[in-house]
Amino acid sequence: MQEDSLAARIFVLYMAYKNLQAFIDVLEKEGELIRVKEFVNPELEITEIVDRLSKSKNNKALLFENTGTDFPILINSMGSERRMSLALGVDDLDDIKDDIEGLFKMLTSPKESILDKISLLPKLGQFASWMPKVKSGKGACQEVIHREPDLSILPVMKCWPRDGGPFVTLPVIHTKDPNNGIRNVGMYRMQIYDKTSTGMHWHKHKVSAAHFNEYKKLGKRMPVAVCLGGDPAYTYAATAPLPENVDEYMLAGFLRKKKVELVKCITQPDIEVPNDADFIIEGYIDPDEDLKIEGPFGDHTGFYSLQDLYPIFHVTCITHKKNAVYPSTIVGIPPQEDAWIGKATERIFLAPIKMTMVPEIQDMNMPVEGVFHNLVTARIEKSFGGQAQKVMNAMWGAGQMMFNKILAVVDGNEDLNDYEGLARYVFRNLNPATDLYFSQGPMDVLDHSCSKMGFGGKLCIDGTKKHSEEIMYPCANEKVDIPALLERLKGVDDVEGVNAQLLEKDIPCLLVSLKKNRKRQAYELSHALYELEEMAGIKMTLIVDDYVDVSDLSASLWQVCNNYDPRRDSVLKDTLLENGMQKACLFVDGTRKTKEFDDFKRDWPNIIVSDPETIKAIDEKWESLNLGEFVKSPSLKFAKSVFGERAEVS
């Protein structure tokens, strides 16, 4: 290990970051940063570079030093498990999980003697050391004060061609409950409207939206402050799914093992912000003002979120450090940086879920294809029949897990990161006729598959080993004759493409594509396939559109997870055989839903890709940017999945 790398690691493990520049220094010493000195346009071009690198072997953080403004852009700084760990000051994200679990156990264990109770005092003292503190006077974030604010001084990026404009994508947004003064820190994108106003994209489930409603009742302006930069723990804490009324800066203090130092804003003194932030944007929202169209925006699902009405944020002041760095991120077709921020949440919040709600849970995983809420796997220690359903109900009622669409539950010692082995285990234990559970409830408002915004179907797959009381009929686990099946499918109307790769790995799941040209087509195909003798033994069939590359398992699964509403788009077929065994198969319609063929009333969003002009521009300047080996644009792979020139499919 090189001496400077060792020094950087010691710094990370035992000290909070003094500021964002300190984090940049560590990234550079660890070989995790590329500096780009040549001008790259924040409109579309930076996104295209980041999208290529985030999906390549040379996945690095990028510091664009020439942005056409006075400030550089830091992006993809948490875009790998290694960099996410560096951001939070640990060697491994599980270190934080173990720390939290140890804390829970210590606080909840029986205290039988006065000595046991006294032994808690040092740890309770640590709690106090994590609580945020407001200091007097101005902070480092207020070295430069713009009392006549102009947002155009910031290198705000327009990320994707059909975006409604440039968006601030890593804003740490501060609001307070007007009734009790309790702070909330969240992250909601901000579309730049003009020099002094932006959109404020908070969904109805968010705490800041509740604060907004309270100000509306009181008829008062709502003070808001936006932090950019500083210790990366602030950025992470703003995304964390904390319970209401739990201060995000207490979590940040715990993560950095040092309290967050706050200062009062200049024009919104009721709001406190981190002393070491790079930028602070102060302002207000008038609840009596009409809402304004915001969007479209290329979102983390890999599809555009479409236009809607949101509050207007009016800027009253901008402050910043003298040598400030503007932090940014892009989201889109996974994997992107947000996947690794989500991975941190998966590891950090496993312990609280286990200790407070689901004691049998041992591990959980959110595959990138599921873009957080769409697909979650959980491993439990099973001791009684129906335990998977107990876990299902608990998790669907827990905070942001209420948005989960597909939950797969397993037991034993399965490695949730070994997707092939995990799928084999699930399907070996699965009887689709009895081990699939359909429900409905609140969904992420970005889930475009729901017939009604924010409300849709859910599916739980019980992949655990079954106790005797859980078995109604044994499931027929027949061996699939793959060559015979492929030959038979050649003669089936509507089947455009077939992928039997999973069958070859002893996973009884088939992928097929079809070209939609009439109503109920996927439904009819499901019934036709089920009747084929060669389909015996297949327990799940995923159906995608013909323009999807069905040979690409990851891309196909991503499409299915986004386009599938389990209550609406499932066909479950089963037959009780003469030998007392049960044959069953779930057919999943993962195709795009349309008004013409599916009576789907909502607008369907387009997939996010770069435009040909931007791709060509980056191709031509790649070598001069010193980005390493040339990487083709990932957008080329999905060009056939785009329809028309708008954010919604036309």
Contacts of 633-638 spanning 24+ positions with Cβ under 8 A? 633/48, 633/51, 633/52, 634/51, 634/52, 634/55, 634/333, 635/48, 635/51, 635/609, 635/610, 637/549, 637/552, 637/555, 638/333, 638/555, 638/607, 638/609
Give Cβ neighbours of residue 13 (< 8 Å, ≥ 6 apart): 89, 90, 91
- Spell out the SS3 assignment of 7-26: HHHHHHHHCCCCCHHHHHHH
Give Cβ neighbours of residue 122 (< 8 Å, ≥ 6 apart): none
Alpha helices (H) in 71-194, listed in sequence order = 81-87, 93-108, 114-118, 121-130
Beta strand pairing call for 509-514 and 540-545: parallel
Q: What angle do CA 618, 326, 608 make, to 5 degrees?
A: 45
Which residue, among 340, 385, 475, 326, has the nearest Cα to 59 in the 3D structure? Answer: 340
C-alpha–C-alpha distance, residues 181 and 449, integer Å: 38
Q: How many other C-beta atoms can be found within 10 angstroms of the C-beta atom of residue 55?
A: 17
Strands (E), 240-369: 261-264, 272-274, 279-285, 292-294, 297-298, 304-305, 308-310, 312-320, 326-328, 361-365
20 in Cβ contact with 582 (< 8 Å):
no
Catalytic annotation present for 299:
yes
Which helix H or strand E contains 224, and what residues bound it? Answer: strand 222-228
User: What tokens were used for 599?
Assistant: 């009576």
In degrees rounded to 5, what are phi and psi of residue 288?
Answer: -85, -5
Q: Which amino acid type is present at position 417?
A: N
281 in Cβ contact with 315 (< 8 Å):
yes
Give Cβ neighbours of residue 480 (< 8 Å, ≥ 6 apart): 503, 508, 534, 536, 537, 538
Q: What angle do CA 467, 503, 473 make, to 5 degrees?
A: 30
C-alpha–C-alpha distance, residues 450 and 568, integer Å: 9
- DSSP conformation class of 1: -
C-alpha dihedral over 386, 389, 394, 396, to 10 degrees? 180
C-alpha–C-alpha distance, residues 595 and 448, integer Å: 14
Q: Please identify which of the residues 231, 247, 299, 447 carries the catalytic annotation.
A: 299
Alpha helices (H) in 382-530, listed in sequence order = 387-396, 419-429, 482-489, 501-504, 521-530
Contacts of 96-100 spanning 24+ positions with Cβ under 8 A? 96/255, 96/344, 96/347, 96/348, 97/347, 97/348, 97/350, 97/351, 98/351, 100/348, 100/351, 100/352
User: What tokens were used for 540?
Assistant: 């799940």
**Which whole-number Å values give the CA distances from 267 to 148, 211, 421, in the listed order?**
11, 20, 57
String of b and e for 338-360 (b: at least 16 CB within 10 Å)? bbbbbbbbbbbbbbbbbbeebeb
488 in Cβ contact with 538 (< 8 Å):
no
Q: What amino acid positions are annotated as catalytic residues?
A: 299
